[in-house]
Structure 1
Amino acid sequence: MTTTSRDPGDGAADLTLLHEAAKLLGQSATPELAITGTLRLMSQMLGLNRGRVLLPGPDDQAVLQIRYSYGLTPEEGKRGHYRADEGITGRVMRTGQLAVIQNIEEEPDYLFRAVDRTTLPEGVVAYIAVPIMDGSMPLGVLACHRLRMRPRPIQADLVILQILSTIIAQILRINSLIDERTRLLKDENQELKETLQKSQTNHGILGESPAIRDALRQVMRVADTSVSVLLTGESGTGKERFSHLLHLNGARRDQPFLAINCAAIPEQLLESELFGHERGAFTGATATKQGKIEMAHGGTLFLDEIGDLNLELQSKLLRVLESQVIQHVGGVKDIPVDVRIITATHQNLQEAVNQGRFRLDLFYRLNVFPIHLPPLREREGDTRLLARHFLLGANREYARYTRFGQGVMERLESYHWPGNIRQLENVVKRAVLVAQQGEIRIEDIETILHQESAVSGHPEANRAVPATARHSPSPSSAPAQGSGHPQPNGPSRPYQWVREDEAAMLQEALKRTGGNKTQAAAVLGMTPRQFRYRLDKLGLHDD
């Protein structure tokens, strides 16, 4: 199998081999193709035959095994395994030093374990083994046979083998990183899949926290009844999703489910949207039209932001609840309807009643069974689960392969989330779009969160952010006109805006990192100096 067709002195074969090996590194889909291809080049171009790469075994790291080879039979490959105290190969792995055996028949440590002497060609056969290094740590061994009596100097072969061992080390490192990332993604996806399977009965409502479990239990208690349910909670907590869950778990599940946001429709159009209208009832009413209440006959109508309904429409809605009849705008005929009405609001309706903005009798009819949906900051552990779910969806939507970098998940969990789940989904989608090299960095998240807080006027806008985040130009980082919140001019100073309510956040970060201030600072997107400054200002000294 020895072939030396080129002039051994001109170096052309060496350069060609290195060029082809580098191409294999960039083009091969698997380490098997890249490394085996490199061993083939060694044999065909330089006469370095029966090349093999030995690596620690998957079951026993103390035993080297032939993982890749060219010119060996499968049986020979299976026989090639060595402990650190066995043979030339074990010695190279143990010491990290190359070995050149000029005549394998005269070397007592050469074991002839993989290849019998009768298989080798006549003449003096040499054996060369070089360590595959990761820094100062041997990863494995690259070894081959060569005929000793050749015009090509053995020193030239040693140089080439050392270069190739570096290329092979790079292939192994890249493959290890891919395997690690794939394993992490598989673990995350499996965890998410299991949670999604658990949530199938909840129709996509994700969460394992006690707060969300309590809300789900309340939904199931009244889903199969006709009782009026009022969903309360901050914007973005999933009120429409919960109303749909109520519908799907009740007797009306096979009938229509319609939703309307009372705050999103102009007041002059909302009555027609709800109750329908007769032809000619107003300019542009060219035909009779059913309203949402009539269209939901037999099913469920969800009225979001019910607190924005004016007093006139409140009285008409009360009649629907009491008499189960409606009248079209411009009509005089009562139309019977059978509809379950579920309402939601982020306002305090009791306070609206006290101020005369909401009818007390309607409030009592709607508030028969109130269910409060917890904000994201009260759903311990759910932020991590939801963030992974949104990351998976964004990767699919944008055809990306992105994962969260170090410290990102901890930062997402520590954020206040004034916009709750809707805001978290938006942040994750933006992070996927700006991420580089397939990783969402803590700097990316800090930039996005700082912009979100600045626009909303939330106190987290005043958090110090890393310099890379503060100086990242973005049109959305400009202050919204008329927001009523003063914006700092130029880059934020690192030591301003220390607030009393930061104490709990700092202490939680220390708890998460076992008291390591440097790691705690990284979790919160601060420098260690900024973190210590806040500890001092708030009197949070070590006991």
Structure 2
Amino acid sequence: MRTNIIQKGTRSRMTFIKTNDLNIKGLELETLYEIAKLIGSALDLDKALNKVLYILNKRLKMERATLLLLDESGTTLKIRASYGLTPEQEKRGIYKISEGVCGKVFRTATPFVVKDVNSEPLFLNKTGARKNLKKGTISFIGVPIVLNNEAVGVLTVDRLFGPNISFEEDISFLSVVATLIGQFLLLNNAIKLKHAKLVEENLDLKAELQSKYSFPNIVGNSKALRDIFKIIKRVAPSTATVLILGESGTGKELIARAIHQASDRANGPFIKVNCAALPENLLESELFGHEKGAFTGASSKRMGRFELAHGGTLFLDEIGEMPISIQAKLLRVIQEREFERLGGTKTISVDVRLIAATNRDLHDEVSKGRFREDLYYRLNVVPIPIPPLRSRKSDIPPLIDHFLRESNKRHKRHVTISKEALDILLKYNWPGNVRELENLIEQLVIMSETSRILPQNLPMYINVDEKVACSNHRPPTRNEGHNEETVTQATTLKELERREIISALARNGWIQARAARELGLTQRQIGYKIKKYNIKFPWEYEN
């Protein structure tokens, strides 16, 4: 019962006050109940806090309620929620912890009452929300919000000043509300920490999955490349044999490595054999190994690539070049998972995931009797065709950026490419695919006398009329050879031959033997023509 405001009067007056006190107590309990129900919405802290202040106003006529919280600097109190203030007034409600009533409540962690806001020098009214109110009618109450014995904020309300107001009871009630608000803050912090932990765990999981199933060494984002990524993700966890099909220089080895890295064998070895780089007798020994004395020069026992790849992946590049005599032995290993070394009798069992690649049409090779049909079907379990670069030109700009970064880093340069030069490279058909593009960028970075690649810096076989650039630099047919337009665009047959040799070299990684085989020349003939036309290789240029 509010004994501090009872004046002299009749018994009926005291009965009225007792009844009024009971009504106020009931309102306060109902208010606390409504506020307590909001704890479930603590995730949306601002909404919950504003709702608390709204309830204080509607239930108990507490005006211009504000909730100030300590900001990240630890020196300033800012309004986090309010009721009865305009957005402009709320923005002005910023207090140093060393100033005003709010600062004093925060520093002392003790409630403070201003019975008349117009007569209290500590009351700053920074928000300007009380300028037009009558003097002597407003009281101001502030209570601290405490967590773990430390003030974290201040709850304030305005009260109409009058003889029937008990500041002690208001302070007691608002202190309970402040305690509830403190629990809101505590719960919200716990939810935020839990959420942050879940986000961190999610990011870690994504990073783990990305490291396992992403392909950082494969540059490009064309639809064709994205479709290949989908196939890789599906086939990688299996043990199925994969056949990668595509022109020279399209990046078949990168695809093979991506499959290996995304598989359960990622921690095992990845062994590569180029079937076109070795003669028949050496290729057999390379694949299956040999015993000491198996042939002239076999002075010691040697493990083959199948043994070295045990528990991992064996990549047979250019398998279309494999001699048909070795194809039969390879078929047995694929079927039985076992073999014998050259000159040996002991059967060796291996657990190897096989990936093969070729730039040939193996089906056509089968029909011509140059490739075993049964081996073809054993290899062609999951075919992955890689489109040439000319059919996925949206990959050219990111590839150029990637190769520029790598070449600049390697040669300590800072070379960029102009839009005009890039446009020309986009029109070129890239018969040597990604390998040709990589070699060209390397050459341009090395040879560039300025920090920017311009159209005039591009090689003649690229920086030509668009019609020639789009012709894929093939030699003219018998009928085309006499076409006036062709003669005009490529002034001489010698220039056409020079361009064709450069394109063949680029397509084959500047390996003369391969380029000669593609052009139907001997190594001696292509060497003579390289010298005749003064064709330089990328590594022959000096920085």
Structure of larger gyration radius: 2
TM-score by length of 1: 0.48
